[in-house]
């Protein structure tokens, strides 16, 4: 982690209340310069409110917001070294693309020649050269969003705040824009703080992700960390697909041991620290970490978990095959296997062994 002087944005124990509603609940974050940082969480988890407090559109009820080490206090948005891109891009409809992009510099009285040069740089950056005379209604949604981005970046903010900026685009365009936005961020090197409820989007774009729920930050980490080492049931459930097996805890210290409802012993690499022997819990395993074998084959030994099941459904997805496996007395497991494995494919109704390594299993308090 960078030291205090080098954080681009820091939140210190920030709380925001609206009457009785606690929108943001004791959030502390440190975002490094040049980071692409995502605030990820379901609707109502406090992402927008957090972003608005950084931008100066809301003031914290408690705690403080620092930008480049400087407490922002009551500073209004225009006195902060940040710019914001909202979901509804709010371009000026009567102005051309070039005029929209130039707007911030015009307001600050920047010389004409410099404005022309910087607008042209920005058009290059967002790949809209040749579009300068068009008006917003003559652009697609993706193009409008790129104009909004250029309009914000031309002011050379220290930090760019983006609130679900791709939310209005259709899926294919959104995917293309995710990669484009990330490339632009890497090119300009400005700190991006990006709000989204879409876990795939956060994983694709961000250097680090803060996972939020009910106003709290539950976990901060790289996409790989939050995906592979979730610290809570919520994070494991919210990010990616996960199998949850109901179990009872037998041993909480490593190697963690649990027992399924039908008495099969399983082992895990990690258990939530608050768990105690004897309590009910869930074992979480990603579908791609489970493997299918024919009865009598597959890996065995203390590092492996094995259960028997029957294939209930087979879905061919091109790159992989998704199996639903019914495990008697337990639950259904979802298994994802790449096409072209030596074991071949399995048919509905077949008896199989589902095996997964201890390293792929984590045990959580169940939230239900
Ligand atoms: N101006 C407001 N007045 C009252 N409640 C608000 C206001 N803004 C947000 N909230 C509440 O705060 C919580 C968090 O909202 P928000 O930050 O918009 O979440 P998100 O962006 O994650 O969907 C929600 O319960 C929301 O209803
Ligand atoms: Mg929001």
Alpha carbon distance 330, 98 (integer Å): 62
Digit-coded pLDDT (tens) for 328-344:
777 899 999 988 777 77
pTM of the model: 0.92
Q: Distances in Å between the alpha carbon of 128 and those of 88, 114, 178, 228?
A: 19, 19, 17, 38
Closest ligand 1 atom, residue 50 Cα: 17
* Nearest Cα to Cα of residue 24 among 49, 51, 57: 49
* pLDDT score, position 1: 44
**Ligand approaching nearest to the C-alpha of 45:** 1
Q: 353-363 burial by CB neighbour count: b if 16+ within 10 A, else e?
A: bbbbbbebbbb
Three state DSSP letters for 329-359 = CCEEEEEEEECCCCCCCCCCCCEEEEEEEHH
Instruction: Say whether pLDDT at 127 is over 80.
Output: yes
Residues 6+ apart with CB under 8 A from 314: 321, 322, 323, 345, 346, 347, 348
Cis peptide before 255 (omega within 30 of 0): yes
Residues 6+ apart with CB under 8 A from 61: 15, 16, 17
Instruction: Say whether pLDDT at 88 is over 80.
Output: no
- Which of 16, 44, 61 to mutate for ligand 1's pocket (most ligand atoms within 8 Å of CB)? 44
Ligand 1: does its nearest atom lie under 6 Å from the Cβ of 52? no
Ligand 1: does its nearest atom lie under 6 Å from the Cβ of 49? yes
337 sits in the region (left: phi over 0; alpha: psi -120 to 50; else beta) called: beta
Ligand 1: does its nearest atom lie under 6 Å from the Cβ of 18? yes
Digit-coded pLDDT (tens) for 163-175:
998 887 888 888 9
CATH number for the domain whose boundaries are 4-234: 3.40.50.300
Do 162 and 85 meet the contact criterion of CB atoms below 8 Å apart?
yes
Largest CA-CA distance found in the chain, in angstroms, rounded? 78
Ligand 1: does its nearest atom lie under 6 Å from the Cβ of 213? no
Alpha carbon distance 146, 143 (integer Å): 5
- Where exactly are the structural domains of the chain? 4-234, 241-290+302-364
Question: How far is ligand 2, taken at its centre, from the CA of residue 163, in Å?
Answer: 7
Question: How far is ligand 1, taken at its centre, from the CA of residue 130, in Å?
Answer: 40
Instruction: Say whether pLDDT at 2 is over 50.
Output: no
* pLDDT score, position 99: 96
Mean pLDDT (whole number) for 121-125:
92
Rounded to 5 degrees, what are φ and ψ at 164? Answer: 45, 55
Ligand 1: does its nearest atom lie under 6 Å from the Cβ of 21? yes
Instruction: Say whether pLDDT at 87 is over 80.
Output: no
Average pLDDT, the chain: 93
Q: Which residues pair with 289 in a beta bridge?
A: none
* pLDDT score, position 167: 84
Closest C-alpha to ligand 1, atom 4: 18
Ligand 1: does its nearest atom lie under 6 Å from the Cβ of 164? no
CATH fold label, 241-290+302-364: OB fold (Dihydrolipoamide Acetyltransferase, E2P) (2.40.50)
Ligand 1: does its nearest atom lie under 6 Å from the Cβ of 43? yes
């Amino acid at each position: 982690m960078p030291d205090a002087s080098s954080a681009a944005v820091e939140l210190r124990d920030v709380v925001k209340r609206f009457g009785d509603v606690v929108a943001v609940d004791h959030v502390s974050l440190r975002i490094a310069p040049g980071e692409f940082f995502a605030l990820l969480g379901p609707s109502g988890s406090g992402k927008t409110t957090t972003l608005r407090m950084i931008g100066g559109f809301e003031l914290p009820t408690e705690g403080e917001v620092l930008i480049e080490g400087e407490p922002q206090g009551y500073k209004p948005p225009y006195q902060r070294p940040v710019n914001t891109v909202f979901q509804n891009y709010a371009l000026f409809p009567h102005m051309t693309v070039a005029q929209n992009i130039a707007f911030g510099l015009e307001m600050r009285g920047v010389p004409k020649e410099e404005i022309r040069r910087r607008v042209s740089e920005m058009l290059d950056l967002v790949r809209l050269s040749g579009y300068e005379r068009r008006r917003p209604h003559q652009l697609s949604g993706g193009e409008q969003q790129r104009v909004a981005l250029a309009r914000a970046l031309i002011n050379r903010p220290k930090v760019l705040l983006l609130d679900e900026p791709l939310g209005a685009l259709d899926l294919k365009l959104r995917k293309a824009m995710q990669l484009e936005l990330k490339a632009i961020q890497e090119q300009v090197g400005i700190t991006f703080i990006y709000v989204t409820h879409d876990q795939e989007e956060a994983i694709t774009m961000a250097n680090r992700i803060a996972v939020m729920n009910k106003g709290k930050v539950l976990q901060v980490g790289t996409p790989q960390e939050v995906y592979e080492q979730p610290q809570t049931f919520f994070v494991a459930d919210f990010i990616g697909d996960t199998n949850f097996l109901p179990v009872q805890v037998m041993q909480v210290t490593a190697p963690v041991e649990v027992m399924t409802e039908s008495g099969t012993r399983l082992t895990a690499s990690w258990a939530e620290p608050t768990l105690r022997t004897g309590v009910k819990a869930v074992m979480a395993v990603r579908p791609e970490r489970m493997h299918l074998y024919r009865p009598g084959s597959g890996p065995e030994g203390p590092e492996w978990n094995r259960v028997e099941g029957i294939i209930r459904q087979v879905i061919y997805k091109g790159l992989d095959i998704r199996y639903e496996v019914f495990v008697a007395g337990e639950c259904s497991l979802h298994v994802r296997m790449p096409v072209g494995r030596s074991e071949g494919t399995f048919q509905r109704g077949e008896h199989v062994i589902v095996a997964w390594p201890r390293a792929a299993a984590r045990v959580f308090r169940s939230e239900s």
